[in-house]
A and B are shown apart, each in its own frame.
Chain A
Amino acid sequence: MVEITVRVNGQGVTREVPPRRLLVEFLREDLRLTGTHVGCDTSQCGACTVHLNGESVKSCSVLAVACDGAEVATIEGLGATGALHPMQQAFADHHGLQCGYCTPGMIMAGIALSRQGLPEDDDTLREMLHGNLCRCTGYQNILRAIRSGAAAMAGQS
Chain B
Amino acid sequence: MRDFDYHRPATLAEALDLLAGDDEALLLAGGQTLLPTMKQGLSAPSALVDLHGIAGLDAISVVGQVLSLGSMARHADVAGNALVRQAIPALAGLAGGIGDPHIRNRGTIGGSIANNDPSADYPAALLACGAEIQTDRRRLCADEFLAGLFTTALEPGEIILAVHFPIPRRFAYASIRNPASRYAVAGVAVAQRQDSTVGVGVTGAGADGAFRWAEAEAALQDGFHPATLDGLVVDPDLLLSDLRMPQDYRARLVEVMTRRAVEAALRGTK
Contacts and interface: CB of A to CB of B under 8 A. Distances in A.
A131 B99 contact: yes
B6 A2 contact: yes
Interface residues of A, number: 30
A50 to B, nearest CB: 9
Interface in B58-113: 76, 99-103, 105-106
B21 to A, nearest CB: 17
Interface in B1-19: 1-6, 8
A152 interface: no
Contacts of A52: 105
Contacts of A43: 32, 35-36, 103
Contact of A66 (B5, B52, B102, B182): B52
Contacts of A2: 6
A61 to B, nearest CB: 5
A63 B99 contact: no
A113 B225 CA distance: 38
B28 interface: yes
A5 B48 CA distance: 19
Nearest to A108: B102
B98 to A, nearest CB: 11
Given A109-B102, A131-B101, A131-B102, A61 B35 contact: yes
B158 interface: no
Indicate the member of A42, A60, A131 with the most B CB atoms within 10 Å: A131
A11 B162 CA distance: 37
Interface string B26-68: 0010011001100110000000101010000000000000000
Given A19-B48, A42-B36, A61-B36, A130 B5 contact: no
Indicate the member of B6, B48, B50 with the most A CB atoms within 10 Å: B6
A19 B52 contact: no
A154 interface: no
Contacts, number: 74
Nearest to B182: A130
A132 B8 CA distance: 30
Interface residues of B, number: 26
A153 interface: no
A65 B100 contact: no
B31 A61 contact: yes
A67 B227 CA distance: 52
Contacts of B3: 18-20
Interface string A45-62: 010010010011110111
Interface in A8-44: 18-20, 22, 41-43
A147 B40 CA distance: 36
A94 B106 CA distance: 31
Given A61-B32, A61-B36, A61-B106, A131 B2 contact: no
A62 B100 contact: no
A81 B40 CA distance: 38
B1 A20 contact: yes
Nearest to B106: A57
Interface of B: 1-6, 8, 28, 31-32, 35-36, 39-40, 48, 50, 52, 76, 99-103, 105-106, 182
Interface of A: 2, 18-20, 22, 41-43, 46, 49, 52, 55-58, 60-63, 65-66, 68, 109, 112-113, 128-132
16 contacts: A2-B6, A19-B4, A19-B5, A19-B48, A20-B1, A43-B35, A43-B103, A56-B102, A60-B39, A61-B35, A66-B31, A68-B8, A109-B101, A130-B100, A131-B99, A131-B100
